[in-house]
Structure 1
Amino acid sequence: MRTTPLLRLLVVLALFTGTAACAEKGGGPGAAHDPERTTERARQVSEAWAGSEAARIWREGYFPLDDPVQLPEGAFRNQADKRAYEAQNFELRGPLPGAPPKKKGEVRWRSGGSLPVAVSSARAAYEKLARGGDVGHSLVVTGARLGRMTLSTGRGPASVPAWHFTLAGYDTPLRRVAVGPSKLPRPPVEPVAEASDALYPLYGLTAVSRDGRTVTLRAHHGSCDEGPAVDVLESGDNVVFSGWIRDRAEGMCTDDLRMKKVTVKLDRPVGDRLLLDAFTGRPVPHDAAAGFPAPSWS
């Protein structure tokens, strides 16, 4: 089932605010961007999280900030394979390991520390990959073994258990995370009541540069404006991002919603600081490449 951009926004708002807020119709501008009010809201979010129980839970748990899938080296061989992956069309032509391992796995952080975690079965991981229903070309899986992969988390880079799926025609495996994230903490601050040009929820976190100084986010905007913008407020504990819409035109306009990547430069590397959304008052979710930003973060 394909989803429209408007439906995606409603789902995101439902996930992060507890109620589905409707996008403004009729094309008229909402509240104009006010840098002072935006900064004040960002400061409120930053101070609420600093030293909070939610922040403690976040720093002790496993919260991935990367795509749960890592492609084979050189993928893809051709456009047909790429389209099959994007459509989640896979075909299983070999045995998969049976029940999940009885022994718990471990998330290991590069900065030190580890966390015991339950490991999913290869079948469960495969079913998260193979959700396509279209008839046509598929990527062929011939087997799997349990290994590891490295990805970004709320506590920095970590090595996590992952299923390595062998694909026909590829020399290296496709990796899929084999563990679920920790339970999200209850946020210490309430979300903004409704979206406006002055402040919009962010769709998700796309990437953090290797040096941690550049963050790429996906932000909302409409068809009659100058695109999205993101303000940033940094502190020693967290980084708060405020998404807003540039110069919406007066008069009638369609109510379609669009998304665009916005790159934000930081004064210093992210490190173990929390990345927060000023609108929702919660950590910015990972922006999965093919669909919704999952509240489970994996």
Structure 2
Amino acid sequence: MHVRAKRLVGLLVAPVLGGCLLAGCVAGSRAGDDGQARSAQVQRARQVADAWRGSAAATAWSRGFYPMADEVQVPASGWHSRADEQAYETGNFALRGDLPAATTGQGKVEWASGGTLTRPLWGARKAYGSFARNDSAGSRLTVTGARLGTTAITTSRGTATVPAWLFTLDGYDSPLKRVAVSASKVPGAPVAPAREGAAGGLRIIPRLTGTAPDGRSVTVRATHGACDDGPVVGALETDASVVLYASVTGARDGACTAQLIEQDVEVGLRRPLGDRVLLDAFTGRPVTSADG
């Protein structure tokens, strides 16, 4: 899924602070954050990390197929114009050709490190509908056909080759690709969610929007309001997990319009994410590329 959120100026990069502690390394946060609130956030992050360690949920996660990158991959050449990019961002597509008939059965996920898994296969029309949400006036991208092929994608278990629908776009030599197999069901958290307003003002992290090629950073969707200076996301790293804790900085008292602004935040990690599970401190659940 592509980014549809309102974007503010650039990305906020959470700097690495603090040293490595027994339970993990604490990264992120921003200078000036309230120390007591941050302490509560880190305490909650440790609670989540401890609950996941050796849990049935962790075992289920280690055996599933969970994309950690966008399941829709734009043409290799990139967009030819800003108008085409905006059409993609708003899901404005026109279908001017026939799509293959509904496909049933299973598709195979093959990891570069070894191991395979079969997952339900998507039909071309379902795959098309996952990114083509509009067909309105203005700039549109035109799909003229599709065929079933493969693509590589970053997952919670490393890079995998998976079935993908390759959509032909008018004016483009390379296709738009959409992963054609369903992700595994995300296991329930082995810990209850934090209480609203507790744990130092923690906020939910809706979804993952990207993982750096070297795994040394992740970009996640975070939220804030109209009367603060924006979101900040920290990371508690252990050998088995990376727990992200999100809050806002510079919150101001007084009258404020009711807005929920979404913004992408890049969080640096002390070492590559690898096969460590990425978790949200508020919910205790994995952070995935699916819309939250």
Moved more, 73-82 or 242-251: 73-82
Mapped to 1, the partners of 2:92 and 2:264 lie a distance apart of 27
Mapped to 1, the partners of 2:221 and 2:267 lie a distance apart of 11
3-state secondary structure, aligned to 2:274: coil
TM-score (norm 1): 0.81
Mapped to 2, the partners of 1:75 and 1:204 lie a distance apart of 24
Kindly indicate whether the alpha-carbon contact (under 8 Å) linking 1:33 and 1:245 is maintained by their aligned counterparts in 2: no
Mapped to 1, the partners of 2:119 and 2:151 lie a distance apart of 15
1:87 matches 2:87: no
Moved more, 57-66 or 193-202: 193-202
1:142-157 alignment to 2 at 5 Å?
142-157=144-159
3-state secondary structure, aligned to 2:243: strand
What's the RMSD between the two structures over aligned residues? 2.2
1:1-298 alignment to 2 at 5 Å?
34-100=37-103, 102=105, 104-195=106-197, 198-286=201-289, 293-295=290-292
Runs of 5+ in structure 1 lacking a partner?
A: 6-30, 287-292
3-state secondary structure, aligned to 2:109: strand
Kindly indicate whether the alpha-carbon contact (under 8 Å) linking 1:32 and 1:198 is maintained by their aligned counterparts in 2: no
Moved more, 252-261 or 65-74: 252-261
Q: CA deviation at 1:176?
A: 0.8
Runs of 5+ in structure 2 lacking a partner?
A: 7-33
> Compared with structure 1, are the counterparts of its residues 95 and 4 closer, same or farther at alpha carbon in structure 2 (3 Å cutoff)?
closer
Q: CA deviation at 1:110?
A: 1.8
Kindly indicate whether the alpha-carbon contact (under 8 Å) linking 2:70 and 2:210 is maintained by their aligned counterparts in 1: no
Give a deviation string over 1:147-186, Cα, whole Å, max 9, x none: 1111121212211110001111100111011111111212
Q: CA deviation at 1:203?
A: 2.7
The one-letter amino acid paired with 1:125 is A
Mapped to 2, the partners of 1:89 and 1:73 lie a distance apart of 20
The one-letter amino acid paired with 2:44 is R
> Compared with structure 1, are the counterparts of its residues 78 and 155 closer, same or farther at alpha carbon in structure 2 (3 Å cutoff)?
same
> Compared with structure 1, are the counterparts of its residues 164 and 281 closer, same or farther at alpha carbon in structure 2 (3 Å cutoff)?
same
Kindly indicate whether the alpha-carbon contact (under 8 Å) linking 2:5 and 2:262 is maintained by their aligned counterparts in 1: no
TM-score (norm 2): 0.82
> Compared with structure 1, are the counterparts of its residues 123 and 164 closer, same or farther at alpha carbon in structure 2 (3 Å cutoff)?
same
Identity over aligned pairs, percent: 47
Give a deviation string over 1:54-104, Cα, whole Å, max 9, x none: 1111110111121111111223222332232223222222222223154x2
Kindly indicate whether the alpha-carbon contact (under 8 Å) linking 1:91 and 1:140 is maintained by their aligned counterparts in 2: yes
> Compared with structure 1, are the counterparts of its residues 99 and 206 closer, same or farther at alpha carbon in structure 2 (3 Å cutoff)?
closer
Kindly indicate whether the alpha-carbon contact (under 8 Å) linking 2:45 and 2:236 is maintained by their aligned counterparts in 1: yes
Kindly indicate whether the alpha-carbon contact (under 8 Å) linking 1:33 and 1:199 is maintained by their aligned counterparts in 2: no
Mapped to 2, the partners of 1:105 and 1:4 lie a distance apart of 31
> Compared with structure 1, are the counterparts of its residues 33 and 169 closer, same or farther at alpha carbon in structure 2 (3 Å cutoff)?
farther
Kindly indicate whether the alpha-carbon contact (under 8 Å) linking 2:93 and 2:135 is maintained by their aligned counterparts in 1: no
Give a deviation string over 1:17-57, Cα, whole Å, max 9, x none: xxxxxxxxxxxxxx985222212111110011111111111
Mapped to 2, the partners of 1:195 and 1:109 lie a distance apart of 41
Q: When the two structures are aligned, how many residues end up with a matched partner? A: 261
> Compared with structure 1, are the counterparts of its residues 254 and 189 closer, same or farther at alpha carbon in structure 2 (3 Å cutoff)?
same
The one-letter amino acid paired with 1:257 is L
